[in-house]
Amino acid sequence: MPEDERSLLDLTVRELLDSVAARTSAPGGGGAAALVTALAAALTGMASRFGDGVVAGEADDLRDRAAPLADADAAAYQAFLDAVRLPHDDPSRPAAVATARQDAIGVPTEIGELAAAVAELAAGLARDGNPRLRGDAVAAVRLAAAAAATAAELAAANVHGEEGTAQLERAHACATAARYRVTELDREQRAR
């Protein structure tokens, strides 16, 4: 990120919303997915603290790992755009595009992995945590599942041929696992 740009984490909520809404390439879906993952982890941490607090530290760690990925995603996507804009006859272009593509796939994949972990942690709290905080835990599961699905979609958008297919499979597996947590909670809710 250029020195004159502020981290998304340092913006007010209003500034963040304006930044996402602006006609710019980033922040976009990846940054939003990272921040939603961090918010879901924050809800998980809160729900844990109102119970036995056992998973609060893990939730905090996931939040701390997810939040900076909002900026990392913007930087990775900008690097990818810069690489594909290099002249086609530039001998460094193929390597620059390949490296930038890996990052443009890797960051969303990491967001998806963290989101799936948050969904799993929050689902446990929704089942076994403080019943008064079940709604917050369920919200965390749903938010994390949406972030994981978004991350998989963004990773898929950057895959080209065989480049990134292993990461894409991982991103899809994380999204599926997070979505399964939502399905489990829906099933449990209907059985009540």
pLDDT in tens, 107-126: 999 999 999 999 999 999 99
Pair 40, 143: CB distance under 8 Å: yes
Cα–Cα distance, 41 to 118 (Å, whole number): 6
Helix (H, G, I), strand (E, B) or coil at 160: strand
Which residue stretches of the chain have pLDDT < 70? 1-4
Per-residue confidence (pLDDT) for residue 4, from 0 to 100: 56
Helix (H, G, I), strand (E, B) or coil at 168: helix
Query: Which residue, 143, 151, 181, 182, is CA-closest to 168?
Result: 151
Cα–Cα distance, 130 to 91 (Å, whole number): 59
Per-residue confidence (pLDDT) for residue 124, from 0 to 100: 96
Cα–Cα distance, 72 to 1 (Å, whole number): 8
Amino acid letter, residue 109: T
Cβ contacts of 168 within 8 Å, gap of 6 or more: 105, 109, 152, 155, 156, 159
Our measurement of the distance from residue 163's CA atom to the centroid of its chain's CA atoms, rounded to an integer in Å, reads: 21
Pair 169, 75: CB distance under 8 Å: no
Per-residue confidence (pLDDT) for residue 131, from 0 to 100: 94
End-to-end CA distance of the chain: 49
Per-residue confidence (pLDDT) for residue 59, from 0 to 100: 98
The whole-model pTM stands at 0.93
pLDDT in tens, 3-32: 457 899 999 999 999 999 999 888 999 999
